[in-house]
Structure 1
Amino acid sequence: MTPPGWHPDPGYSGNGPAQERWWDGAQWTGHVRASPGAARRRGIRIGVGVTVGAVVLAAIGGGVYLLGEDGGGPGTAASSPSAVPDPPGAPDGGEKDGEKGGEGNGGENGDGQGPGEQLPPTEPGFATDLAAGISLPVPQGWKGTSGAVGAGLTTGEHACPGDTAETCVRGGVFSAPAAAMKLTAGTPEEAAKKDITLNAQESYGGKSYGKISSHEELKSEAVTVAGGKGYVVRWKVVTEKGDDGYVESLVFPSPTSKDMLVVVRSGFDVNKDAPKLSVLDEITRGIKAASGAGGGAGGAV
């Protein structure tokens, strides 16, 4: 369940500065505000769409780029925003639909924390995705980033082959609820098979690596993750520029909400300096219910 707080506005069209909308735990309210630091994006490319700081996913991909330290993105729940009366506990700051104002709460510190917002628990050695109810194990030498919506692991920063002004990574693993990615397939198998094409394109397509000329399916099978029955699809893709890559889409039910599917996208370069695929398997086996969130045990088989 997505916790109450400021989250990327699910109705944001991409025109103008990104904004956030207050989620009261049951529905989107009429309160909106500019995303903290929306005018200060730095465009660091580390895995598709995980933000540093607030860590709200815009679009999740393995191992390509990050929208920026304070980037915004699409919504975190399947429901659409609607005009509703002010609920008890709604924020005093920010704006309502139709009102004109500045950045509202959050200011220039970029912490993205609104009144009443729940921040992810701190657990040594793990990156926590609070909305999905999971924690990802952080391999030695990797960077792990927790967030209210989404979590990420990255390693091996380097200049993108197709655009050296941007930064790519040798390996990236990112999670989010399926609804945050607008992935509506019914079963984990259906969702994973649908997502892998998007993952491949966002991770190794575009100007960073050029087009993908071909792919080979390496894995397509059922898997148990964090106590739930999921599905994983892994491809090796051939790119136009730079290294080829391995991409993987893993989908499984949240250990804290069986009606919610969680998507974990991964991307590893095919390069001597990139992590081995065995590291990706270790990460999958180590995914568990977030500390204090209840739910199933960790591990994958």
Structure 2
Amino acid sequence: MTPPPGWYPDPSAPHLERWWDGATWTDHRRSPQTPGQPRAADGTSGRAKALALGTAGVVLVAAIVTGAFVLRENGGAGTDVNAAPTPVSPTSEPAGENPPPASSTPSADDPAVVVDQLNGITLPLRDGWTRPENVAEDDVVMTTDDGTYDCPAGVGLCRHGLVLTRTVTENDVRSPKALALADISKAADTAYDRDSLDRRPYGGITSHQKAGSGQVAVAGRAGYFVRWRVRTADGPGGYVQSLVFPSSVGSESPVLVRFVFDAGPDGPPLADMDRITKGIRSIGDASTGGGVGSSLGPSS
């Protein structure tokens, strides 16, 4: 058995923590979290995105990680920098040590949040949104809470709204503006042109126009967003937005947040894109400001 995805002591640099994706070590590293901050959490999608949905799970995995590496160190075995963290029974907690309580980091606008441990952020779970269930797409952190509906073109099931988070890797470009501009067409095609089965749930994209772009402060860091209005052959089409900002954890690879909102009366309020952006926080820092209008205003 191997331990679940999460932050574990780096076998090649014990003073740091490194991200284990459930199968192998990634290049993400960070300094150990201070007491009171959440530790590793169980993953969800195929790319091992860890969504910490409860403080109990966070505390449990913190105990597992601590026990695993204390036992490894005391065992005297050689350290393999590529080896998986040693799985340990949840009851194998080092004597005399108790994991620190995990603190919650609610958004200022809404106490319900989704925690993305890998990218070190929390996103507010606003009214009309829920955590993903039975979602095939990777990296989805929230969906509209009205479930699925038959896609306009009569193939497959669609959702009125999705929010996804990803780490931008294997790319020498670090400019949030350049990355957002490069991603927006991919976001539109993935959401409204062809799906993973090469079907066209909306009959394909017929046109698009820019609905907004500009600098925006996200969790106290300077990011950039691009928003398109997409029109499709079937149905009302929708809006897509690519938001990119620097990460505050690990290798500081940029974080990409994609928004997919159906247009029309059944789609979520377009203003939720700005509200969710404004509510993004660094883990453990509920006071960190951000969002449209905070310190960097949007421009057309």
Contact 1:55/1:151 (<8 A) preserved: no
Contact 2:214/2:226 (<8 A) preserved: yes
Q: Deviations over 1:171-227 (max 9, x none)?
A: 111112112xx5553200000000001000001111222321211001121111000
Does residue 271 of the first structure (1) align with residue 264 of the second (2)?
Answer: yes
Contact 2:226/2:241 (<8 A) preserved: yes
Q: Deviations over 1:78-130 (max 9, x none)?
A: xxxxxx9565663469xxxxxxxxxxxxxxxxxxxxxxxxx997865001111
- The CA distance in 2 between the partners of 1:298 and 1:249, in whole Å, is 20
Match of 1:78 in 2: none
Contact 1:129/1:151 (<8 A) preserved: no
Match of 1:46 in 2: none
Q: Deviations over 1:7-50 (max 9, x none)?
A: 2xxxxxxxxxxxx52227779xxxxxxxxxxxxxxxxxxxxxxx
Instruction: State the Cα distance separating 1:255 from its structure 2 match.
Output: 3.1
- Of 255, 279, 286, the residue aligned with 1:262 is 255
List gaps (5 residues or longer) in structure 1. Answer: 8-19, 28-52, 61-83, 94-118
- Of 155, 179, 186, the residue aligned with 1:198 is 186
Does residue 299 of the first structure (1) align with residue 286 of the second (2)?
Answer: no
Match of 1:170 in 2: 160
Match of 1:243 in 2: 236
Match of 1:144 in 2: 131
Does residue 131 of the first structure (1) align with residue 124 of the second (2)?
Answer: no
- The structure-2 alpha-carbon separation of the partners of 1:190 and 1:54, relative to structure 1 and needing over 3 Å to count, comes to same
- The CA distance in 2 between the partners of 1:145 and 1:130, in whole Å, is 16
Contact 1:57/1:176 (<8 A) preserved: no
- The CA distance in 1 between the partners of 2:265 and 2:258, in whole Å, is 21
Q: Could you say what secondary structure the match of 1:21 adopts?
A: coil
CA RMSD between the two structures = 3.5
Contact 2:140/2:162 (<8 A) preserved: no
Match of 1:153 in 2: 142
- Of 23, 26, 29, the residue aligned with 2:25 is 23
Contact 2:28/2:251 (<8 A) preserved: no
- The CA distance in 1 between the partners of 2:256 and 2:27, in whole Å, is 21
Identity of aligned residues (%): 33
Q: Which amino acid aligns with 1:297?
A: T
- The CA distance in 2 between the partners of 1:276 and 1:295, in whole Å, is 25
Match of 2:85 in 1: 90
- Of 3, 7, 12, the residue aligned with 1:3 is 7
- The CA distance in 1 between the partners of 2:272 and 2:252, in whole Å, is 29
List gaps (5 residues or longer) in structure 2. Answer: 1-5, 9-18, 30-41, 50-78, 89-101, 195-199, 294-300
- The CA distance in 2 between the partners of 1:276 and 1:153, in whole Å, is 15
Q: Which runs of 4+ in 1 moved over 4 A?
A: 24-27, 57-60, 84-89, 119-124
Q: Deviations over 1:224-263 (max 9, x none)?
A: 1000000000000111222211000000011335832100
- The CA distance in 1 between the partners of 2:254 and 2:245, in whole Å, is 6
- Of 27, 38, 43, the residue aligned with 1:54 is 43
Match of 2:274 in 1: 281
Q: Which amino acid aligns with 1:220?
A: S
Q: Could you say what secondary structure the match of 1:3 adopts?
A: strand
- The CA distance in 2 between the partners of 1:198 and 1:87, in whole Å, is 34
Q: Which amino acid aligns with 2:180?
A: A
Equivalent residue pairs, number: 208
Per the normalisation by structure 2, the TM-score is 0.59
Contact 1:209/1:241 (<8 A) preserved: yes
- The structure-2 alpha-carbon separation of the partners of 1:220 and 1:295, relative to structure 1 and needing over 3 Å to count, comes to same
- The CA distance in 2 between the partners of 1:21 and 1:221, in whole Å, is 38
- The structure-2 alpha-carbon separation of the partners of 1:121 and 1:178, relative to structure 1 and needing over 3 Å to count, comes to farther
Structure showing greater radius of gyration is 2
Contact 1:128/1:145 (<8 A) preserved: no
- The CA distance in 2 between the partners of 1:224 and 1:161, in whole Å, is 36
- The CA distance in 2 between the partners of 1:265 and 1:143, in whole Å, is 16
